[in-house]
Amino acid sequence: MATPSYRIAAAVTAPSTSEFLVVRQLPPPSPPSTALGEEEYRRYVDSDLYDLPSAPLRRLAAEEDPVRPGVAVGGVDDCRLDLSRFDVPAALDQILNQLGLTSAMCGEWRLLKYVEEPEFGPDAGVNTVLIVGSVESKPEVLQDSCKWMSKEGAWEMLSGVKPGGTRIGPYVYIGFPKSELSSNCIAASALASQEYPPGLMLIPMKSRTLSPFRTTNLVVVQANGGACGSKRSDFFACGDALLIDPGCCSQVHTELADLVNSLPKKLVLLVTHHHNDHIDGLSVVQRCNPDAVLLTHQNTMKRIGKGNWSSGYTAVTGGENICIGDQELQVVFAPGHTDGHMGVLHVNTNALIVGDHCVGHGSATLDSRAGGNMKDYFQTTYKFLDMSPHVLVPMHGRVNLWPRHMLCGYLRNRRAREASMLQSIENGAQTLFDIVSRTYCDVDRKLWIPASFNVRLHVEHLNSQHKLPKYFSMEKFQSSCGIHFFCRWAVAYALSRTSPAILAGSALAGGLVVAYALGRNTGNQPQDSARRMASNTAKTMQLLHLGSMLNLFPVLLLISFGFVAFLFLVQGALPLWPLWEIFFNGQDKELYSIYVHASPGYTDLAPKESVFYGRLIPSQGTKWGDMNLVDAERRLLATALLDLGNARFALFSESCIPLLGFPAVYAHLTGGSNTNVSFVDSYPIKERHDPFFADRNISLAQWRKGSQWFEMDRTTAVEVVAEERWYAVFRGDHGMLNMEEHYLPTLVTLLRWGARCENRTLTYVDWSTRREHPRSFPEKDITAELLEGMRRGDGKCGYKYHGDDDGASEVEFCHLFARKFSKDALTKLIQLAPELWLV
């Protein structure tokens, strides 16, 4: 972990008074007001910010003498930082110069506080040493940038702010003794946190966010008194505590639970938008406090799975007022990042919580799949500017003390990017890759993929403003935004790494991408059997090599949009497809994708209105007990991995059925603690462990068996497609059948998937007949009790589902799917499914 930097801040007090000196802080540099395009930003100027004088604190080199003449600081014995290893005198000289004082005018210095900044990222943070000293007498003349301030005056300016008024910085606030603070935000004391402005506790918690950040800021607002202290009566929601964006990952869910349990029970919860790093802790909050009230936009709520939040919610659209004790907040509609994105204004301190509209470092990526667009982003930025906030609170990174400067910087950057893109287009760029490579030539190429999302939105924004040249083809541009872009990016990324192996692999991947893209355009058109077999053999090699190339680019493992890929491994027609049609009917098509691997000779086409239409993939023949079943599974996974939206992958046969409705299935697979967990049936067994395997370093202790019907995350799917060493062993000349029952289960131990793999399947199978094949269920066996028993299992599998929002009781399930069902069972299953899927 990187070493933090250090600063020292000094409170210089007046004799016999509680006054201390503050310095007007210098804003970050901006382009000259006379620069081209700066006219519109001149009126957006941040108000004056006063704070304690401070200076960088340099660590002494190893060869420097730690005992140096200069100013001594008393009371450092209890400090966790060894100040003798820092150049304190030089830092104090800088502070005194800011005040126009000399060391002779000040008495003894003593330590007030040592404050370690939480991990906001992307850097290691800035830790601060606060010291206090006193002048022997008040100077008659002060620097223009300095003034005396009382504790009472500072507190009034901190807690009763006026838009556009003078502001007080964080060093003054953290210098107050806790006994003098009226804030009650103490529930998070066990977690690394920061409170500034007063009343807003920020807790950076580890989350599934993208680089360069590692955490998402959880915002905690806690009432100072027991009841709402405001005299207003138009509050939309009231509570004793408020949480904003509990998005921490499962590794810190215990800490989140402890925090929620320490808060008052009258809890309000607000989610700015639906991305995983903002909602992964929702299920923890609901479990600890089922009565918590969730506020969010309706567009956000429809993208939050039942596994994250299974109760009702209250929709907000912007303008709603919230009361937490004597603190007031206002919801702000802030589309752009997504079409349901919200911000929150903390009225007492005029602090604006901006969600992911702004981040602490760099710029935010807009999610076009969730309605994000550049026009809305610009409008929201201007809305924030007109609100004149005193600080900006992003959900990634530290608090920004110069909000208007930051927002104007975002506008400058976006406009400069658009101008650069327009120039690239005018110079001949026609494709997404051409524009990205020219516009972001100074940016690490591994970031070109997320940058490409914004480029698409910028080009669409330019097109809506009629700024694009007439010869520029939007149709050609849109067609270059998929696999074409990935192909060219892969080669460019490899070139930047100068690794021959990666370069060769990328070139191969690029060629295979193009070949696959061209080949798949033929769709499901019938071909003669021999021609189709030859074509599919070539495509199979392309798919597997291409899928395996994905693990050369780890960034692609992080980019997914929550799709569940339903993989059907069948011989021919799907006899139970009408049941699956009901299962998918009316569901958001942005939540799932379908892939069907059938016999190469199968040419029957699904009707155009079917969800299975056009979903056949290149295939080869399969037969029971043969490793070519594993080939088919890898082929399905490789195809599905080409869609970066797919995050989960589930395998089914033609005799499988869903035991729960789509919302419940999706919630279980994508929500809560299951997000990074794979379900691969794997248990130890001696059967079929031939010396052939022991001779090739697969011991009996590692040997496993299990059902082939898996459900896995993207990382595991890439490993399955890329794995070659053990695959070659299982395909070797060992004379054993049914290796499909051992290959994946044994990979669990060979590749040490361990904690990220549940050693069980989510698909119910009845092996009670003790034959080569499991029990099959014809129509006469189908009852509601049978299906209920299948999905409940032994009742100890840990998946709890709350049902609809009508107060239905919690139900625990073991299985989401089941097999084997006969074709004649279809009518009975369709009759029972609607009631069964209601849970």
| CATH number of the domain encompassing residue 16 | 3.90.79.10
Provide the pLDDT for residue 817: 93
Average pLDDT over residues 682-693: 87
User: Is residue 346 domain-shared with residue 389, that is, in the same domain?
Assistant: yes
What pLDDT digit, counting tens, does each position of 828-837 carry? Answer: 999 988 777 7
CA distance linking residue 603 with residue 572, whole number of Å: 8
Is the pLDDT confidence value at 808 over 70? no
**Ranges assigned E (strand) in 28-121:** 49-51, 54-56, 73-74, 109-115
Domain boundary among 360, 393, 410: 410
Is the omega angle on the peptide bond into residue 383 within 30 degrees of 0, that is, cis? no
| CATH number of the domain encompassing residue 628 | 3.90.550
User: Is residue 804 domain-shared with residue 745, that is, in the same domain?
Assistant: yes
Pair 713, 276: CB distance under 8 Å = no
Q: Which of 126, 56, 152, 136 is nearest to 98 (CA)?
A: 56
Backbone angles phi, psi at 86, to 5 degrees: -130, 155
In a domain, residue 468? The reply is no
pLDDT band for 561, please (50, 70, 90 cuts).
Answer: low
643 is in which domain, residue-wise? 556-839
Pairing of strands 109-115, 126-134: antiparallel
Pair 378, 416: CB distance under 8 Å = no
- pLDDT top residue among 370 and 512: 370
pLDDT band for 202, please (50, 70, 90 cuts).
Answer: very high
Crossing angle of helices 628-641 and 714-722, in 10° steps, is 130
User: Is residue 247 domain-shared with residue 281, that is, in the same domain?
Assistant: yes
pLDDT band for 181, please (50, 70, 90 cuts).
Answer: low
- pLDDT top residue among 632 and 621: 632
| CATH number of the domain encompassing residue 381 | 3.60.15.10
Domain boundary among 410, 439, 455: 410
Pair 780, 822: CB distance under 8 Å = no
In a domain, residue 12? The reply is yes
In a domain, residue 85? The reply is yes
In a domain, residue 470? The reply is no
Of the listed ranges 250-264, 520-534, 725-739, the least confidently predicted one is: 520-534
127: β partners? 6
User: Is residue 128 domain-shared with residue 228, that is, in the same domain?
Assistant: no
pLDDT band for 532, please (50, 70, 90 cuts).
Answer: very low
Is the pLDDT confidence value at 225 over 70? no
Is the pLDDT confidence value at 348 over 50? yes
Provide the pLDDT for residue 804: 43
Average pLDDT over residues 383-392: 96
Is the pLDDT confidence value at 801 over 50? no
In a domain, residue 527? The reply is no
Provide the pLDDT for residue 265: 93
Domain count, the chain: 3
Q: Measuring CA to CA, how many Å separate 735 from each of 409, 625, 627, 686?
A: 68, 11, 12, 16
User: Is residue 206 domain-shared with residue 309, that is, in the same domain?
Assistant: yes
Is the omega angle on the peptide bond into residue 53 within 30 degrees of 0, that is, cis? no
CA distance linking residue 722 with residue 340, whole number of Å: 38
Provide the pLDDT for residue 663: 84
Pair 218, 203: CB distance under 8 Å = yes
Of the listed ranges 167-171, 251-255, 383-387, 670-674, the least confidently predicted one is: 670-674
Average pLDDT over residues 47-75: 81
In which order are the strands placed within the sheet that holds 646-652? 592-597, 563-569, 646-652, 711-713, 678-679, 757-758
Domain boundary among 113, 146, 180: 180
- pLDDT top residue among 332 and 716: 332
What pLDDT digit, counting tens, does each position of 497-524 carry? Answer: 655 554 445 444 444 444 444 333 334 4
User: Is residue 252 domain-shared with residue 116, that is, in the same domain?
Assistant: no
Average pLDDT over residues 97-126: 88
User: Is residue 246 domain-shared with residue 352, that is, in the same domain?
Assistant: yes
In a domain, residue 781? The reply is yes
Provide the pLDDT for residue 188: 47
User: Is residue 727 domain-shared with residue 785, that is, in the same domain?
Assistant: yes
Is the pTM higher than 0.95? The answer reads: no
Which residues are CB-neighbours of 242 under 8 A, at least 6 positions away?
219, 220, 221, 222, 267, 268, 269, 270, 322, 324, 329
In a domain, residue 538? The reply is no
Average pLDDT over residues 811-820: 82
In a domain, residue 45? The reply is yes
Provide the pLDDT for residue 643: 79
User: Is residue 273 domain-shared with residue 157, that is, in the same domain?
Assistant: no
User: Is residue 646 domain-shared with residue 612, that is, in the same domain?
Assistant: yes
Average pLDDT over residues 687-708: 88
Provide the pLDDT for residue 434: 92
User: Is residue 148 domain-shared with residue 210, that is, in the same domain?
Assistant: no
pLDDT band for 749, please (50, 70, 90 cuts).
Answer: confident
User: Mean pLDDT score of the chain, rounded to an integer?
Assistant: 83
The percent of residues in the chain predicted with pLDDT above 70, rounded, is 84
CA distance linking residue 461 with residue 465, whole number of Å: 6
User: Is residue 78 domain-shared with residue 207, that is, in the same domain?
Assistant: no
- With vertex at residue 779, the alpha carbon angle to CA 775 and CA 780, rounded to the nearest 5 degrees, is 90
In which order are the strands placed within the sheet that holds 817-818? 657-658, 817-818, 763-764
Taking CB atoms within 8 Å and a gap of at least 24, the contacts of 532-536 are 532/600, 532/601, 533/600, 533/601, 533/620, 533/621, 535/618, 536/600, 536/618, 536/619, 536/620
